[in-house]
Structure 1
Amino acid sequence: MANRSKRDISGTVVIPLPPREIAPGAVHVPGWLSLDEQRHLVQECRAWATGPVPIRHTVLPRGGVMSVQTVCLGWHWQPYTYTRLAHDVNGEQVADFPDWLGELTHRALTAAYGRTTHTDPYDTALINFYDGPAKMGMHQDKDEKSDAPVVSLSIGDTCLFRFGNTETRGRPYTDLQLASGDLFVFGGPSRYAYHGVPKVYPGTGDPATGLASGRLNLTMRVTGLR
């Protein structure tokens, strides 16, 4: 599935770049999703965004509001815990995490690492939508009780992705661009690295994905909860 040739909007054949290890356990696989797969994910995200727990701007404990909009599958994430019911939204249970998305996630692990490195079933997805000036500050994904790798898919506008270290929000870090169709996986020594999205580049996505503007980011995780 990984690194298949495809054509850009001008009809030119594009050969995706090979996987690149950014840090131990952190791998960028450019152009992993086909255009059809991106279209399918955009359609599904639109359906998930309508409920049963709709997409929203998450309110942080100190009253701040995240600029990205988020909808969850399987488990509902709110700072800084997972619950079955979305007590901070409408009290409903989030949509199920579909089997096909779990299969896609395990294929992604194989594309990044050459093998599936974790046997526990992936059971939640956080889907973030970036529009306008939305961005994401440096943070760690550490609310899960499992250290299974985080699997991230990008669709739409290209973003500046900052991948740091496990000790501090500051340097050293690596800046790279994540474009539509890109896969990024981080686990092992990099599982708890700080990371963020300082900027999204408007107008850089391909409307053929079904997303006219903005950026979708799907991150699949293992909660370790029962």
Structure 2
Amino acid sequence: MSAGPLTADLFESTADTKPSQEAIAEGAVLLRGFARPFEAELIADLHAIVAQAPFRHMVTPGGHQMSVAMTNCGSAGWVTDRSGYRYDSNDPESAKPWPAMPSSFFRLAAQAAAQAGFNDFAPDACLINRYQPGAKMSLHQDKDELDFGAPIVSVSLGLPAIFLWGGLKRSDKPRRFPLKHGDIVAWGGPARLVFHGVAPLADGEHALLGRQRINLTFRKAR
């Protein structure tokens, strides 16, 4: 994973931007720039997580290798292989527990959820996706959790991306929302099982994270 230096000047320039909020749908909110004040902590903690549980390209039950590289932190980690999709307490590659969720991750997720109208969100899982140029995420629902009462909080870091927001059926035509470094999408309630995805990532260079986009997806898995 390549990353540029975390300089004070870079941090100040990104932290200046005031966050704004826009509704995507009933139960879904886009918080622009909300994660920027947290970025130095997030990126430092991200490096520590990846040192313990490196990114890997998981395989779907159908045998397809995902273009997005993944890892996890928290008491539960989302995994996929030929046997199916599921949450597991241990990293299947090391047989060790996933790294603990850093306090910076937990605080950001809880504060973003509250800002979006979902109070008392206490995620126990954070799926960390690494998109490199050309990588994408097909339309899907987050439905491997035991309780759909908690929201999903999705944090964008690094290169900009196009977020695809569909409907409750896979065939519903998705709307396209540009996401930049620091943007967060939070959804729950009537929007909890909406199909969503990410269009193929365009090439570029981000000052802090290089040629990649990192997505932190917080969930209450158990």
TM range (shorter): 0.7 to 0.9
User: Which structure 2 residue ranges, 5 or more long, are not aligned?
Assistant: 1-8
Query: CA distance change for structure 1 residues 31 and 106 in 2, over 3 Å: closer, same or farther?
Result: same
Check if 1:84 corresponds to 2:85.
no
Deviation >6 Å, runs of 4+? 11-14
Partner of 2:3 in structure 1?
A: none
How much does 1:173 deviate? 2.1
How much does 1:180 deviate? 0.3
| Inter-partner Cα distance in structure 1 for 2:168 and 2:55 | 30
| Inter-partner Cα distance in structure 1 for 2:130 and 2:192 | 23
Q: Secondary structure of the residue that 1:59 maps to in structure 2? A: coil
Could you state the TM-score of these two structures normalised by the residue count of structure 1?
0.83
User: Which structure 1 residue ranges, 5 or more long, are not aligned?
Assistant: 1-6
How much does 1:112 deviate? 2.0
Matched AA of 2:218: M
| Inter-partner Cα distance in structure 1 for 2:101 and 2:14 | 36
Partner of 2:159 in structure 1?
A: 157
How much does 1:120 deviate? 5.4
Contact residue 58 and residue 69 of structure 2 kept, 8 A? yes
Instruction: Write the deviation string for residues 87-136 of structure 1: whole angstroms up to 9, x where unpaired.
Output: 3x2322111123442222111112222xxx34352111001010121111
How much does 1:49 deviate? 1.1
Contact residue 154 and residue 216 of structure 1 kept, 8 A? yes
Partner of 2:66 in structure 1?
A: 66
| Inter-partner Cα distance in structure 2 for 1:78 and 1:131 | 20
| Inter-partner Cα distance in structure 2 for 1:197 and 1:13 | 25
| Inter-partner Cα distance in structure 2 for 1:219 and 1:141 | 10
How many pairs does the alignment contain? 207
Query: CA distance change for structure 1 residues 185 and 107 in 2, over 3 Å: closer, same or farther?
Result: same
How much does 1:193 deviate? 0.6
Partner of 1:217 in structure 2?
A: 215
How much does 1:55 deviate? 1.6
